[in-house]
Structure 1
């Protein structure tokens, strides 16, 4: 397989560094062992930091033989992108799980594809749950025993 060469502006390279960092972080943040394919690409991209004039944001860690982002730069990326994503995905997943629970109460366990009626009902249930959560947050959420 042949090599791929990319030409990009310094601004595009900085965006690529951010994308690679965030993508690698997402893939590896929940694993005990790092995904080496992602790590290899991350290392390749970060190794060009001098060409991209990112000496203030990327450095080579000689003792462990890898390139790394500056701690403040890394924190800024995590604060900016990951926290926003986590907040959005939390509410999205909460609505999804609560809708699944309600659908099971209505129809019993659902195996396989939903019927058209069930899909319409699910969308209505998700919309209603989403509206209630927007109004009250989790303050009205309770678990009955």
Structure 2
């Protein structure tokens, strides 16, 4: 297998470390024990060069586990900076998608979820997404009503 060598500036390397952390987090955040080992190997390879980029304040070597890792402060900074915003955006995007799907099923029947959409269905879906998205943007979730069984 051919070996590939890359050269980075310190700033590019720092961005690579951030990208590797975020990608690794995305791949492994929902896995309890079965981590993506290939991704972890790449993460380790990248993080192991931290001294060359003067990132001793952001990356540390954990001798007991024989791995490189981000400092807790740096990891928290990245979580706050990127993942919180991503989660917030994803929540609203997924909520619009699910509420639209619910309306589509009520309008066209349960087959709408698995069947190819007709032009009419697609037009209705886009209109619903726009309407639901706008409503949620203007009023948040305060207007959502779930008919809960009150026993």
User: TM-score scaled to structure 2, two decimals?
Assistant: 0.94
Q: Which runs of 5+ in 2 are unaligned?
A: none
CA distance in 1, matches of 2:123, 2:5: 48
The alignment of Structure 1 onto Structure 2 pairs a total of residues equal to 145
Structure 2 counterpart of 1:19? 19
Q: Which runs of 4+ in 1 moved over 4 A?
A: none
1:116 aligns with 2:119: yes
Equivalences for 1:50-69 in 2 at 5 Å? 50-69=51-70
Q: Which runs of 5+ in 1 are unaligned?
A: none
Structure 2 counterpart of 1:102? 103
Structure 1 counterpart of 2:31? 31
Q: For 1:13-50, what per-residue CA distance to the aligned partner results, in whole angstroms no more than 9, with x for missing partners?
A: 00000000011011100012211011000000000001
Q: 2:138 aligns with which of 116, 135, 143?
A: 135
> What is the RMSD computed on CA atoms of the aligned residues?
0.8
Structure 1 counterpart of 2:2? 2
